[in-house]
Amino acid sequence: MTPAPSLPNPLTSPVGHLQGRFRQWWQSRLPLTDTLALTQRNVYILPTRPGFMLGATLLVLLVASINYQLNLGYLLTFLLSGSAVVGMHVCHGTLRGMTLHLIAPNNLFALDTAFFDVKLINSRRSPRYAIGLSVLGTGHWSWTDVAAQAEALVRIAFRPEKRGRHRVPALTAETRFPLGTFRVWTVWRPAAEVLVYPAPEPLAPPLPPGEPRSGGASAASAQATGEFDGVRAYRRGDPMKLVVWKKLAKADELVSRDTQHAQRYELWLDFVQTGLPETEARLRRLCAWVLAADRLGVDYGLRLPGLEIRPSCGAAHRLACLEALALC
Amino acid sequence: MLNRLKVLPRDARDTLFLLAVIAWVIMPQVGNLPAWCSLLAGGVLVWRGWLALTARPLPGKWWLLGLLAVTLGATLYTHRTLLGRDAGVTMIVVLLALKTLELRARRDAFVIFFLGFFTMLTNFFFSQSLLTAAAMLIGLLGLLTALVNAHMVVGRPALMAAFRTASWMTLLGAPIMALLFVLFPRLAPLWGIPSDAMSGRSGLSSTMQIGNIASLVLDSSIAMRIKFEGRPPPQPDLYFRGPVLSSFDGREWRPLPPGLSQRMPPSSGLVVSGTAVNYEVTLEPNNRPWIFVMDATPGTPRVPGFQPTMTPDLQWVVDRPVTDIVRYAASSYPDFRFGPLSAKGNTLIGLQEYVDLPPGFNPRTLQLAADLRRDPRLATAGAATLAAAVMDRLRTGGYRYTLAPGVTGQHSADEFWFDTREGFCEHIASAFVVLMRALDVPARIVTGYQGGEINGVDGFWAVRQSDAHAWAEIWQTGQGWVRVDPTSAVAPSRIGSLQRLQAPTGVFAGALGGISPDLAARLRQGWEALNNGWNQWVLNYTQSKQLDLLKNLGFEAPSWEDLSYLLIGIVVFVSLCGAAWTLWERTQHDPWLRLLARARRKLVAAGIQVPPQAPPRELARQIKLHYEGAETARGQALHDWLLRLEHLRYAPAAPANLGARARLATLRREFNQLAWPDR
């Protein structure tokens, strides 16, 4: 879903371009898997800026110890160095040996803030602290601790940009525990795929008028009543079977089916009739309409280039329509 | 209050903890810092703590700049410089405190930690004792705990968890520390040390004003430790010679100006007899070019890194101040004679300085001398008789030895002989020498240490600052300079026994001494043995000791390059071990899987085809097929074994880890006893 970040122009920034190419090449080598066991081979470590600061501090301490001939100063310097070295191993050990497991996300709408869950499994007998996860390159970290021989669930937020069937974006796990002098991280390409529907148009126009069933009356009269979609507000005396109960459950408002209208018209959401020039914009409007029609509980059909879904209603129908929109 | 701490927001709690650790690190410095610096640092820390407790915003940058300017000004005013050790320490302490007011970003926190580590080191400028080391170890653990805690980003973790991690890291880091400490080559200072580097250490002084030594007596810290070969000599022989003071201006005794003492030949005719006492001295830094040996030491003591020479006064000096613990061996002869044996020519040539008295001081003592001379028995007596007469007077005249002689006026000898009649060794020696000079006997004062006591725990002889002493030497025809210790006439117990006046002790030590003096003494001895071990093994660990270690390890002619090679070699070796372990970890090492693989190989060797991923049950089935008809019992045993292997891994009811290892070991043992199919 995160498209490969566009490479910098090789002419203006050759180094950036090369770095980007290297990153792409590196990531493409990573295996696709939904369960990643972290081992020596896929956990990386580099000193951070505070790490270099600590190194400089140790150097100053050493020089002071030498110059003032302080044996206790040597002890302090070396104890601190020893702790830092152990800290490096602790830092690496925080990730190494852990298992990450992706819980495949549900399908989502583009540009919507979505979440998916990653399970962190710690089989060792000591807890692992301060592990951050994020979608690679976003910098939005979710931090967690994993207790000894336990699991933790981390919810990672992300924002799919484009509709279609995509692989879950590459993830990264990172820790700087315990001293902050080293950064230990891993990069993970999950195999799971997720279907992203077009983002619904925010303020879409009302649903189009129904089309007359084969040889019915013109749409003009329906337009005059302002009831395009075969429903109208509940009127006293409407029979119970005409009430759209689904709508009541969802929105707490009484709506009745316009029997006459429903009998004579059927609602078609047509790619061509959206009145927009661009394909993506059309799909977004159609998506908004599908959702609106579904909310009203009326039957609707979808017409896309090369695909036609007969009018119907219900969750399965809605999914079929959204999927068609996503993959169009 | 405690409850309130428990419910503090995490930010406030962490800040308070860090402030407490910083205060702990700064605390031992307070005695060595200017008062304004301690007050400023303490004030800032308290202020910051209050801001954290009440969740108020931090002060603006103008506050910080103002305080910084004040600090710079005050440092410049106090130390007259911004460079050098003492000014640097002052600034670092204040900067550390001020930086807590600027705890905004992650970077600020790191700056605090690293400044904190440096502040810990500055403590060692002033003291490297075991107590300081222990205090700084706690400080280090505190800082590491705060650092670890800062990286536990989730929720509000208990400080104890961070402390546990920090302790583990320190504990595992200790072997690395030990290795580096032992093998890291001890280099000479990389560049010159500012001149104030070694101040702040006490000891004997090069001049003697009445009251100098009495102030030392309150200091029971160790001046030196001695390991005698064989039995220690008797206590009255233990005179450790320091500066010899021969020039008196009425108030202060000084050494003779260099030009005058040159008149006597350097060797001074030292003649020793009897058996030598051999011993090794561990001298605490005294910031003076003096080393202390027993009277008299004709042979040059072996002091590593120094060049000792003997003064005409028999004192041993070295070419630069002793600023660190040094260890040296010496052999001394308690029986000796030195100095010109006869006054050639008209008067006491070369000895004139030793009978000079400043005019206008101590008239009554001069009168006393004249009175003594009028005594017919003493009128023509030699120096020895006169000295004996004066010693007799000290013994019988009601003179007392005291640690608190009070303030002396202009005529210190007069006051001692006639008014107060009490004094400390320096009063007594000074009054004695003045009187002897008034009697025309060449006399001078020798300062140094006398006595000491053995530490029953480690057998080292400890000489303390409180053993500092002043005695006299008089010149006798035919004898040269002869030691006379007038204090022994006043207080025989001062010389020659362990009993001595005790300086007032602290409340706790006093209470302990009151309950059980024996226990107090033993505790003290144990503590000092510990301290001595610390000095011998840690503080006195020098390049020569490193090279000795290499020699013991089998190096022919070790040099510091060898040390580096050894260190690098060990690091490489450990890294290779780590790499090997990583390789091993990458291969299959689940013991259960290994056992299954061995079983499968047995089957394959017998020609039974089993796929590599076959579970135990599949192997068992194949075995059963293999032995169908013949030798069913043998097949059954193998079958059962394989099913038990499966059970160990996959049985649902048994808790996973309960005795699994033992059961696997049993299965492994049985594997070797089983009759596997023949090839």
Domain boundaries, chain A: 24-196, 211-327
A87-91, A110-114, B293-297, B636-640, range with the lowest pLDDT: A110-114
Look at B173 and A41 and tell me if their CB atoms are within 8 Å: no
Residue of A nearest to B121 (CA): A73
User: If we measure between CA atoms, which residue out of B290, B296, B325, B282 comes closest to residue B308?
Assistant: B290
Looking at the fold, whether B214 and B312 belong to one and the same domain comes out as yes
Q: Where do runs of H (alpha helix) occur along B516-657? A: 517-534, 543-553, 560-586, 591-605, 616-626, 632-650
Using the Cβ of A96 and the Cβ atoms of chain B, whether some distance falls under 8 Å is answered with no
| Whether domain A24-196 has CATH 3.40.50.970 | no
Residue to mutate among B169, B531, B539, with most A CBs inside 10 A, is B169
Q: Looking at the structure, do residues B527 and B550 belong to the same domain, yes or no? A: no
Q: Which of A18-22, A302-306, B141-145, B190-194 has the lowest mean pLDDT?
A: B190-194
pLDDT(B199) > 80 = no
Does one domain contain both B53 and B153?
yes
pLDDT (tens digit per residue) in B138-163: 999 999 999 999 999 888 888 999 99
Averaged pLDDT score across all residues of chain B: 82
* Contact call for A129 and B177, based on CB within 8 A: no
Greatest mean pLDDT among A246-250, B130-134, B196-200: B130-134
pLDDT for B258-283, tens place per residue? 655 445 544 457 888 888 889 989 88
Give the residue, B310 or A215, on which the prediction is more confident.
B310
pLDDT at A154: 92
d(CA B47, CA A16): 48
CA angle, corner B494, sides to B493 and B497, nearest 5? 60
What's the confidence (pLDDT) of residue A220?
A: 41
| Cis ω before B296 (30° cut-off from 0) | yes
* Overall number of domains in chain B: 5
Q: For residues B203 and A205, which has the higher predicted lDDT (pLDDT)?
A: A205
To the nearest whole Å, the CA of B553 is away from the closest chain A CA by 22
**In terms of CA atoms, which chain A residue is nearest residue B169?**
A83
Predicted pLDDT at B343: 57
User: B304 and B172: one domain?
Assistant: no
Q: How confident is the model at residue A6 (pLDDT cuts 50, 70, 90)?
A: low
Give the tens place of pLDDT for each residue, A115-146: 889 999 998 888 999 999 999 888 889 999 99
B256 and B150 share a domain? no
For B367-393, give the DSSP string: HHHHHHHHSTTTTT--HHHHHHHHHHH
* Contact residues on chain B for A47, CB-CB shorter than 8 A: none
Q: Does residue B264 share a domain with residue B173?
A: no
pLDDT of residue A27: 82
Contact A68 B585 (CB under 8 A): no
- Indicate if B139 and B112 belong to the same structural domain: yes
Q: Which of A114-128, A274-288, B337-351, B501-515 has the lowest mean pLDDT?
A: B501-515
pLDDT digits (tens, 9 = 90+) for B319-347: 888 877 788 888 888 888 887 766 554 44
Over the stretch A75-123, which tens digit does the pLDDT of each residue have?
999 999 999 999 999 999 999 989 999 987 777 888 777 788 999 999 8
Parent domain of B659: 591-673
At B567-615, the pLDDT tens digits run 999 999 999 998 888 887 766 567 788 888 889 988 888 888 888 888 8
Percent of chain B scoring above 90 in pLDDT: 18
What integer pLDDT is reported at residue A271 of this predicted model? Answer: 85
Check: CB of residue B610 under 8 Å from CB of residue B603. yes
Query: Regarding predicted confidence, which is higher, B283 or B46?
Result: B46
Which tens digits make up the pLDDT trace of A232-253? 777 676 767 677 777 777 777 7
Report how far residue B26's alpha carbon sits from residue A89's, in angstroms, rounded to the nearest whole number.
31
- A229-248 residues touching B, CB cutoff 8 A: none
Same-domain status, B320 and B236: yes
Q: Where are the beta strands (DSSP E) in chain A?
A: 35-37, 44-47, 99-103, 108-109, 114-122, 128-135, 142-146, 150-158, 164-167, 171-175, 182-188, 193-197, 211-212, 231-233, 255-257, 265-270, 300-304, 307-312
Residue B652 placed within a domain: yes
Q: Are residues B581 and B600 in the same domain?
A: no
Q: Examine the pLDDT at B348 and tell me if it is beyond 60.
A: no
Q: CB-CB: which of B110, B124, B152 is closest to A72?
A: B124
Which of B293, B317, B337 corresponds to the end of one domain? B337
Residue B164 pLDDT exceeds 90: yes
| pLDDT at residue B546, rounded to an integer | 83
Q: Are residues B137 and B111 in the same domain?
A: yes
Among the candidates B322, B337, B352, a domain finishes at: B337
Q: How many CB atoms lie within 10 A of CB B215?
A: 13
Residue of B nearest to A65 (CA): B121
Whether B235 and B158 map to the same domain: the answer is no
Q: Is the pLDDT of residue A223 over 50?
A: no
Model pLDDT, residue B258: 67
Decide if B517 is inside a domain.
Answer: yes
User: Residue B394's CB: how many other CB atoms inside 10 A?
Assistant: 23
Which of B585-607 are b and which e, b meaning 16 or more Cβ less than 10 Å from the residue's Cβ?
Answer: eeeeeeeeeebbeebbebbeeee
The order of strands in the sheet holding A300-304 is: A211-212, A265-270, A300-304, A307-312
Q: What is the pTM of this model?
A: 0.65
Tell me: pLDDT of B565 over 80.
yes
Stretch 151-180 of chain A: residues touching chain B, C-beta under 8 Å: 176-180
Question: A212 in helix, strand or coil?
Answer: strand
Q: Does A18 touch chain B (CB under 8 A)?
A: no
Q: How far is B54 from chain A (nearest CA, A)?
A: 28
The pLDDT tens digits for B665-674 are: 888 899 888 8
